[in-house]
């Protein structure tokens, strides 16, 4: 949203500049940038809180990049010493335990933030024209984040990760037509081996970050170009009824404040609940009890457990995968099937569908946690 707010604007030159600012201004024309930022505003209404989750996800991505680079200095992505290198990071490297724990926790919080951000966009109908591409790039960022999580889970090469990856890739292998190819591509062979670890390491530190940055840039560019979405019912409101807050410095400072709170939560989680390493993976050992994927895959994992082995001569797992595939596709293409009503009318179909999906995910995730 780009809106003029003459009342709230201050002259850029209203305050005396510091010598550094003056120095930079002379060279890079920062005043124009500040002027531009001041013109941007964010709608202020009951649901404004949800607007912060995109920023939180961005902060956590930055944390991921920084901690990931630090871990990369000691981590060795080969079958023989991957586990030992992580143990070395945990035990011997100064603050290594903290960096690893922050990396693991922020990865999970980042996906949680993206999921909340996605649902808020969905319920606020912010995916509608003209923001379809912003929605698609956002969905792409979520999928890449999940791929980040799936690949990163295996990197410590511990027992749970090894068998969870085995189960996870087995499920991918069930996808009709392309399953076998995907399975071999992911595993680098028939089984989860050192080749799988090398691949996952490559995907995690090179391929996914590259793709993620491209989609993130596009996502931010789209937002920048189109402005922040307004609530549905604002279309009928008079300009003077629309309350807004300046993007800079008000919204940015609020975002910063939330970021600091998130950093505090992250630090508490990392110190009080450090990410355990467990035992080293052993392909000859029996699968330990309690193998489960990361929490964001849990609802699918649990539902697949309930599907019978055979349904009308068809493999139950394939039907489950097709069901989730279709549901995911429908979710992604919501801008196409969304029924657009006249301004002022709420689209309850979209809202109830979203609530149903959200309840479905929450219920099955809780069941999976309880079932252990």
Partner 1 sequence: MKHISIAYLLILFLVGAITFRLSAAPGNDECLNCHEALDGKVQTPAIAFKNDVHHAAGITCAGCHGGNSSVSDMEEGMDKKKGYTGIPSTKERYVLCVKCHAEKKAMQSFGYRGSTEQFEKLKSSVHFKNSYNDQGPIADCITCHGAHGILGAKNPQSRVHPTKIVQLCGNCHSDPSYMQKYNPGLPVDQVMKYRTSIHGVKNAKGDTRTAQCVSCHGNHEIYSVKDPRSAVYNLNIAKTCSHCHSDTVLMAQYNIPANQYKKYQKSVHGIALLEKGDAAAPSCNGCHGNHAAILPGAESVSKVCGTCHAFNMELFEQGPHKTAFNIKKIPECESCHGNHGIEPVTDEFLGTSSRSFCISCHQAGDNGYKTAAEMKQLLDTLTASKKNADQYLDIAERLGMDVTDEKYALKNMKQLLIKVRTSVHVASLGKFKEEIAPGFEIVKDAETHGRKSIENYYFRRKGLMVSTVIVSILVGLLYLKLKRIEKEDRA
Interaction of residue 271 with partner 1, rule CB under 8 A: yes
Interaction of residue 17 with partner 1, rule CB under 8 A: no
CB of 289 to partner 1, least distance (A): 21
Q: Tokens 């293409």 identify what position?
A: 333
Provide the token pair at 118.
């996605």
3-class DSSP string for 194-208 = HHHHHHHHHHHHHHH
By C-beta, is 271 or 341 nearer to partner 1? 271
Interaction of residue 48 with partner 1, rule CB under 8 A: no
CB of 83 to partner 1, least distance (A): 11
Provide the token pair at 327.
């549901």
Task: Check: CB of residue 81 under 8 Å from CB of residue 157.
Answer: no
By C-beta, is 261 or 330 nearer to partner 1? 261
Task: Check: CB of residue 319 under 8 Å from CB of residue 313.
Answer: no
Interaction of residue 62 with partner 1, rule CB under 8 A: no
By C-beta, is 236 or 279 nearer to partner 1? 279
Interaction of residue 254 with partner 1, rule CB under 8 A: yes
CB of 5 to partner 1, least distance (A): 10
Binder among 211, 267, 332, 333 for partner 1 (CB under 8 A): 267
By C-beta, is 146 or 280 nearer to partner 1? 280
By C-beta, is 93 or 218 nearer to partner 1? 93
Among residues 71, 129, 143, 58, which one has the least CA distance to residue 104?
71
Provide the token pair at 320.
């489950």
64: Cα within 13 Å, side-chain hemisphere? 24
CB of 261 to partner 1, least distance (A): 6
Interaction of residue 263 with partner 1, rule CB under 8 A: yes
With a CB cutoff of 8 Å and minimum separation 6, the contacts of 11 are: none
By CB under 8 A, what part of segment 70-109 binds partner 1?
87, 90-91, 97-98
| Whole-number Å distance between alpha carbons of 245 and 30 | 22
By C-beta, is 228 or 262 nearer to partner 1? 262
CB of 100 to partner 1, least distance (A): 11
By C-beta, is 261 or 362 nearer to partner 1? 261
CB of 115 to partner 1, least distance (A): 25
By C-beta, is 8 or 310 nearer to partner 1? 8
With a CB cutoff of 8 Å and minimum separation 6, the contacts of 199 are: 186, 187, 188
By C-beta, is 49 or 311 nearer to partner 1? 49
| Whole-number Å distance between alpha carbons of 271 and 171 | 34
CB of 167 to partner 1, least distance (A): 27
Interaction of residue 260 with partner 1, rule CB under 8 A: yes
| Whole-number Å distance between alpha carbons of 178 and 347 | 37
Among residues 170, 150, 135, 161, which one has the least CA distance to residue 338?
135
Binder among 55, 68, 77, 246 for partner 1 (CB under 8 A): 246
Binder among 217, 264, 283, 351 for partner 1 (CB under 8 A): 264
Task: Check: CB of residue 250 under 8 Å from CB of residue 40.
Answer: no
Which DSSP string corresponds to 153-178? Answer: HHTT-BHHHHHHHHHHHHHHHTSTTT
Rg (CA), the chain: 24
CB of 267 to partner 1, least distance (A): 6
E-strand ranges in the chain read 41-43, 244-246, 310-311, 314-315
List residues binding partner 1 (CB under 8 A): 8, 87, 90-91, 97-98, 246, 249-250, 253-254, 256-257, 260-261, 263-264, 267-268, 271-272, 274, 276
């Amino acid at each position: 949203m780009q809106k003029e707010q003459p009342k709230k604007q201050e002259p850029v030159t209203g305050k005396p500049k510091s010598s550094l600012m003056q120095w930079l201004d002379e060279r890079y024309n920062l005043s124009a940038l500040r002027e531009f930022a001041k013109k941007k505003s964010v709608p202020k209404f009951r649901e404004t809180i949800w607007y912060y989750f995109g920023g939180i996800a961005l902060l956590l991505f930055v944390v991921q990049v920084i901690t990931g680079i630090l871990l990369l200095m000691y981590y060795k992505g080969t079958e023989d010493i991957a586990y030992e290198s992580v143990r070395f990071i945990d035990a011997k490297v100064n603050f290594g335990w903290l960096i690893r724990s922050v990396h693991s926790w922020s990865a999970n919080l980042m996906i949680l933030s993206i999921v909340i951000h996605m649902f808020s966009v969905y319920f606020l109908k912010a995916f509608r024209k003209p923001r379809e591409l912003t929605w698609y790039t956002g969905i792409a960022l979520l999928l890449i984040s999940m791929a980040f999580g799936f690949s990163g889970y295996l990197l410590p090469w511990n027992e749970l990760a090894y068998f969870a990856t085995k189960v996870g890739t087995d499920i991918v292998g069930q996808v009709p037509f392309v399953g076998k190819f995907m399975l071999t591509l992911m595993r680098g062979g028939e089984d989860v081996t050192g080749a799988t670890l090398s691949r996952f390491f490559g995907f995690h530190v090179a391929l996914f970050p590259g793709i993620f940055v491209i989609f993130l840039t596009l996502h931010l560019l789209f937002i920048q170009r189109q402005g922040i979405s307004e609530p549905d019912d604002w279309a009928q409101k008079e300009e003077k009824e629309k309350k807004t807050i300046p993007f800079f410095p008000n919204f940015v400072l609020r975002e910063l404040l939330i970021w600091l709170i998130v950093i505090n939560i992250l630090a508490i989680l990392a110190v009080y609940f450090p990410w355990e390493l467990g035992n080293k993976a052993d392909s000859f050992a029996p699968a330990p009890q309690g193998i489960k994927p990361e929490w964001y895959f849990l609802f699918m994992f649990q539902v697949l457990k309930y599907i019978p082995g055979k349904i009308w001569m068809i493999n139950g797992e394939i039907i489950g995968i097709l069901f989730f595939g279709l549901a995911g596709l429908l979710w992604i293409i919501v801008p196409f099937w969304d029924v657009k009503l006249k301004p002022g009318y709420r689209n309850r179909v979209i809202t109830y569908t979203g609530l149903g999906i959200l309840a479905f995910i929450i219920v099955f995730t809780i069941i999976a946690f309880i079932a252990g």
